[in-house]
Structure 1
Amino acid sequence: MVAIMVDRETPKPTLSTIEVEEKSKEPRSVLRRLGDTVRPPALGEDYSILQALVSIDMLILFFATICGVGGTLTAIDNMGQIGESLGYPSKSINTFVSLISIWNAMGRIASGFLSEVFLAKYKFPRPLMLTAILLLACAGHLLIAFGVPNSLYVASVIIGFCFGAQWPLLFAIISELFGLKYYSTLYNFGGVASPIGSYILNVKAAGHLYDKEAKRQNLGKPEKTSSRGKDLTCMGAKCFQLSFLIITAATVVGAVVSLLLVFRTREFYKGDIYAKFRNTANNTDTAVEEEAPPPVLAAGDKDRQRTKINTGN
């Protein structure tokens, strides 16, 4: 008996099968494209806006700024009530405001100048200087929290200096790590940390706890009213003590988090962060020299040149 072998061809995939396979590949390709979009370049190169916003370095810097700027801004906004609650006269309170303004400007100048000098001479990274500023601000917060007599003068100087010093460091770090192509947008994104920190630490922490202590002190007393409505006044160190202990803790957390940025950028700041700008400038100068037209000879120079050619000299 002869067995007849019948070759059976493998059935070709139907159109529906092909469509299913293509659809299964589409999400993977979309995810791959999305990954390529948000994958950051090397530090110091020009990041896109999306790459910078989702960068771990930017998130660390943003969180540290919320803690640092939010705490110092809370102290500045409430300096009048702080002085009043601690029993300082109006003249001294006005002095505190002036000291904050003066040392705010000094902090901006000093942090920008000193960070540049330390970076150029000692490779001292700017994020580490930001950490030092945050730790210094903790001293001012603690002076307010414990209400040490006559310490508000020193606290005003420290708070004003630290508030001003954080901004040049923040914007310089953004420009160095994420490039200058979208710096204007990233500059404004960094500034958003100020209202967020102020809302959390000023409104939700200091304002709420101050009102709570004021109500406790005025319990059973007739309420004072003004054009703004009920006006509660709190007296004593306890009015802002818990608030500024919380602010101190938040600032310490911000300083610790900023150390992560110091660790992540240590190799970047050990190198020459301005090398690419010098190379670009040198290449531009070379290109300009190569494209420069030949010098134009005056009439007398042309005659002398013809004479030299004719005489063979």
Structure 2
Amino acid sequence: MVLSEQHSWGKNKVFTFQILRGRWFMVFSSFMIMSVSGASYMFALYSREIKLVLGYDQSTLNLLSFFKDLGSNIGILSGLINEVTPPCVVLTIGGVLNFFGYFMIWLVVTKKIAMPQVWNMCLYIFIGANSHCSTNTGALVTSVKNFPGSRGIVIGILNGYLGLSAAIITQIYYAFYGNDSKSLILLMAWLPTAITFVFLPFIRHHRSIQKPSDSKAFYNFLYLTLVLAGFLMIIIIVEKCVTFTQNQYYVTVSVMLLLLILPLAIVIVEEHKIWKRKQENIYGDDPPKPLNVTTEKTNLVISTKKQVSLWKNMFKPPSIGEDHTILQALFSTDMVILFLATICGLGGTLTVVNNLGQIGTSLGYPPHSITTFVSLMAIWIYLGKIVQGVVSEIIITKFKVPRPLMLTLVLLLSCVGHLLIAFNVPNGLYVASIIIGFCFGANWPILYSIISELFGLKYYSTLYNVGSIASPIGSYLLNVRVAGNLYDKEARKQMAALGLKRKLGEELNCNGGECYRMAFIIITSVSFFGALVSLILVLRTREFYRNDIYKKFREEARTAENERTVTQNRTGEPAANEG
């Protein structure tokens, strides 16, 4: 009896260790990290506090948001570090950067330190936002490499959690800090850092065999995230209609946290399947069947040709879908086209995301509605990422439609949202925030999937971050240079009409539909141009997408399975961990 209990305890202990070391718990850990990594999406919630305390005009505030976008997308260094070190290194760097950057901003807005220069604030928000690159690289890229045959849905779900993170953090903020936007900045400093440090030991690369059942598991993950998103959307809408007490916020946050950890049940189920297969291999009645392995002698031919110069080779890229070097990808025509189209698309949608609070104020929406816009936009960003990650995967595998066509459609849809803001359609900001949130979210999985498909996974950590640079470039051109300057110009015109003069350090505000009209007409034109540019990439890649783009990974999986079987038959023991 005692021996039986000890044996059972030993098996449970081994199974628990397998879960914690397995690739499925690695995915769950990535979900948790990404679910609190969207602080860069919350600028609209605390930007007014910065503007009020520091007396910034809109151009200066937009400059700050540009450095936030720059930090959250300049991740080439993170990518290079991740190429040569384990993922835990880049995640640790991200956690430290996040805490330092946002904690310094909190010290500024609470006046615990002297008022800094504008460049100091730009540096702080750049550092805080740059942690976004590190967590993305460490968590998302590792997950894609562990599940290359399911990359579309993997990217979609992980980006979906990132999109939901603004709504998740907002609910926690309401429960523990009330409606104090200064405390929100403090929460943004410590919470993502704490979660990252808790889960980073479990983020690692796995040499494992991908099975057809993996896709089913990811669809189960997807269904749970949809339930979480639906719950958050209902809560946000109810909060708009009813004033919640602190205890009611505690209840909603408790339910939200329960929904967040529910994917752990799927992890346990998947690891139990692996556990059962191992036990069958060890204790099965039938001995392993011999496997006929034929080996062929191969004559090794050592080439005497000199290695082609790196700089010459970068202009001779391999076929689409093969592993490109970093330079080959950077200088390829396809990357240039993708980069230009993404600048046009993300530049316009980011202008709305960063200025949603100010746009709502200028157009006369009440403050509570503006908070609702920002929270609901997080839901639509999530849905954009999920829909594009999953639906585009189905479309390209079943109907062989080029994935860049999804980018074209998203850019065209965003034009509708921009026009609703430009012409101040009654209650149009509600619809515009839905459209723009969806399009902004959809852009990311499309971009990351196209990069992985066209240029391979060998240097994906770096190329993934190279593609992200399009976002701050678009933000600077359309948000800072266009929207910010035109807003301030109209604000000064309104002050002059009233015979007023702006005092030094006083915030500059504009009211009415004229504040953003011309800016969003320009942004609509740029987005439409981006859609036309993306059509060129559709034409260039249509032959590639007509083929089975995942065939290579299935063949590699079969080869790995054969090697595992050979090892098992030779030793009489199961091969290394499948999970």
TM-score by length of 1: 0.81
CA distance in 2, matches of 1:41, 1:76: 38
Is 1:265 matched up with 2:541?
A: yes
Q: Deviations over 1:37-63 (max 9, x none)?
A: 431100110000000000110111111
- 2:431 corresponds in structure 1 to 154
Deviation at 1:148, TM superposition (A): 0.5
Among 549, 556, 559, the residue aligned to 1:280: 556
The residue type paired with residue 59 of structure 1 is V
- 1:34 corresponds in structure 2 to 311
Is 1:169 matched up with 2:424?
A: no
Superposition map of 1:100-249 within 5 A: 100-219=377-496, 221-225=499-503, 229-249=505-525
- 2:528 corresponds in structure 1 to 252
- 1:301 corresponds in structure 2 to none
Question: Does the 8 Å CA contact 2:401/2:542 hold for their aligned counterparts?
Answer: no
CA distance in 2, matches of 1:124, 1:53: 25
CA distance in 1, matches of 2:361, 2:560: 61
CA distance in 1, matches of 2:532, 2:478: 18
Deviation at 1:86, TM superposition (A): 1.2
Is 1:69 matched up with 2:346?
A: yes
CA distance in 2, matches of 1:193, 1:137: 17
CA distance in 2, matches of 1:271, 1:159: 33
Deviation at 1:95, TM superposition (A): 1.6
Deviation at 1:89, TM superposition (A): 1.2
3-state SS of 1:235 partner? coil
CA distance in 2, matches of 1:158, 1:72: 9
After TM superposition, the structure 1 stretch with the greater mean CA deviation from structure 2, 276-285 or 111-120, is 276-285
Deviation at 1:241, TM superposition (A): 0.6
Deviation at 1:224, TM superposition (A): 4.9
Structure 1 vs Structure 2: percent identity of aligned residues?
58
Deviation at 1:154, TM superposition (A): 0.3
Q: Deviations over 1:254-303 (max 9, x none)?
A: 1110111100000000110011111122223233434544476xxxxxxx
CA distance in 2, matches of 1:252, 1:156: 19
The residue type paired with residue 201 of structure 1 is L
- 1:86 corresponds in structure 2 to 363
Q: Cα gap change, 1:294/1:32 in structure 2, threshold over 3 Å: closer, same or farther?
A: closer
The residue type paired with residue 95 of structure 1 is T
Q: Deviations over 1:138-190 (max 9, x none)?
A: 10000000000111100000011110111011001000000000000001111
Question: Does the 8 Å CA contact 1:223/1:230 hold for their aligned counterparts?
Answer: no
Number of aligned residue pairs: give it.
267
What value does the CA root-mean-square deviation take over the aligned residues? 2.1
Deviation at 1:32, TM superposition (A): 7.8
CA distance in 1, matches of 2:570, 2:509: 81
Larger Rg: 1
CA distance in 1, matches of 2:310, 2:459: 21
Q: Deviations over 1:67-111 (max 9, x none)?
A: 111100001111112111111111211121112111111111111
The residue type paired with residue 250 of structure 1 is V
3-state SS of 1:78 partner? helix
CA distance in 2, matches of 1:30, 1:281: 31
CA distance in 2, matches of 1:92, 1:56: 44
Question: Does the 8 Å CA contact 2:314/2:331 hold for their aligned counterparts?
Answer: no
TM-score by length of 2: 0.44
3-state SS of 1:229 partner? coil
The residue type paired with residue 241 of structure 1 is R
Q: Cα gap change, 1:216/1:30 in structure 2, threshold over 3 Å: closer, same or farther?
A: farther
After TM superposition, the structure 1 stretch with the greater mean CA deviation from structure 2, 181-190 or 215-224, is 215-224
- 2:123 corresponds in structure 1 to none
CA distance in 1, matches of 2:319, 2:313: 14
Deviation at 1:30, TM superposition (A): 12
CA distance in 2, matches of 1:288, 1:177: 30
CA distance in 2, matches of 1:292, 1:84: 67
Q: Cα gap change, 1:33/1:187 in structure 2, threshold over 3 Å: closer, same or farther?
A: closer
**Structure 2 residues without counterparts, runs of 5 or longer:** 1-305, 573-579
After TM superposition, the structure 1 stretch with the greater mean CA deviation from structure 2, 72-81 or 178-187, is 72-81
Superposition map of 1:272-311 within 5 A: 272-294=548-570
Question: Does the 8 Å CA contact 2:410/2:442 hold for their aligned counterparts?
Answer: yes
Question: Does the 8 Å CA contact 1:223/1:232 hold for their aligned counterparts?
Answer: no
- 1:307 corresponds in structure 2 to none
Question: Does the 8 Å CA contact 1:218/1:232 hold for their aligned counterparts?
Answer: no
Pick 1 or 2: higher relative contact order, CA cutoff 8 A, min separation 6.
Answer: 1
